[in-house]
Structure 1
Amino acid sequence: MDNAHLAALEAKHAGLDALIVSEMRRPLPDEARIAQLKKQKLRLKDEITRQ
């Protein structure tokens, strides 16, 4: 994997992390959305580690 692709995956991973934190700070966080974001984040993490 080239560095640009890896950097893009890591940026998406960090962005998902920020969305999760933001959602969790809301007065009534959407648990379904948090779960969906965490699954996406895990898929990205798996893709990053496979390379």
Structure 2
Amino acid sequence: MKIVDHKQTWEGFFTYPSDDDYSDQDLEVTLKMELIFNENSFTGTSRDSES
């Protein structure tokens, strides 16, 4: 992978199983990460709708 822009914003979601015994539907959580890449590492912040 070649890093073109060293500052990036990533947006998306992750899912996890509901703890409700009556539902087999996964819960979806939106997230946004602001990342700064430096050679073989990165730093940044992550926010999600449950935090």
TM-score surpassing 0.5?
no
* Greater RCO structure (CA 8 Å; 6+ sep): 1
Higher normalized helix content (fraction of residues): 1
Please identify the structure whose Cα radius of gyration is greater: 2
Name the TM-score class by shorter chain. under 0.3
For normalisation by structure 2, the TM-score amounts to 0.23
For normalisation by structure 1, the TM-score amounts to 0.23
Higher normalized strand content (fraction of residues): 2
